[in-house]
């Protein structure tokens, strides 16, 4: 249980605290956007369909990323027309924390994210996986 609460604090409450602290600055910015780095493992639709049933991922991670996705929706509704809110899955990044089969260079993901932000897409909320179709 402690792991679940800690993960929710990090992945959902942490971003909310940050938005609360920075909200006045976001609202004063010319084209503000909130980007929550999510995971496809937080997709309720994908989890319910069994898409990732073969992955051995902790309850804490899946629950906290689903909570973060809900935060993205809630913020988009509250800030509608003023701040775009996106949940972005960067892909299977080849990092120390990544899965053993992860091969995506984090620099590639960063470039894809920059391109996405600069595209001018006004969708909010938006759930997407870099380099792939949007998530449900």
Whole-number pLDDT of residue 135: 57
CB 135 within 8 A of CB 40: yes
**What is the C-alpha to C-alpha distance for residues 5 and 21, in angstroms, rounded to an integer?**
22
The predicted pLDDT at position 54 comes to: 83
Mean pLDDT of successive 10-residue stretches along the chain, which has 136 residues: 94 97 97 94 83 83 94 97 94 63 77 91 91 64
Q: What is the pLDDT of residue 95?
A: 59
pTM given for the model:
0.86
For position 102, what pLDDT does the model report?
Answer: 58
Using CA atoms of 55, 59, 63, 64 in order, give the dihedral in degrees to the nearest 10: -100
The label of the residue with tokens 């909200």 reads: 23
CA distance 115 to 118: 5
Which domains are delineated in the chain?
2-129 (3.40.50.720)
What does the pLDDT read at residue 50? 83
Query: In this predicted structure, what is the pLDDT of residue 17?
Result: 98
């Amino acid at each position: 249980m402690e792991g679940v609460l800690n993960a929710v604090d990090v992945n959902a409450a942490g971003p909310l605290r940050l938005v609360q602290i920075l909200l006045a600055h976001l609202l004063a910015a010319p084209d503000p956007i909130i980007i929550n780095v999510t995971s496809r493992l937080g997709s309720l639709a994908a989890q319910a369909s069994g898409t990732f049933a073969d992955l051995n991922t902790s309850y804490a991670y899946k629950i906290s990323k689903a909570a973060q996705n809900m935060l993205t929706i809630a913020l988009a509704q509250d800030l509608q027309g003023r701040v775009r809110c996106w949940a972005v899955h960067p892909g299977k990044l080849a990092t120390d924390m990544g899965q053993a089969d992860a091969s995506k260079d984090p620099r590639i993901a960063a470039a894809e994210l920059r391109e996405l932000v600069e595209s001018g897409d006004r969708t909010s909320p938006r759930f997407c996986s870099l380099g792939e179709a949007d998530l449900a």
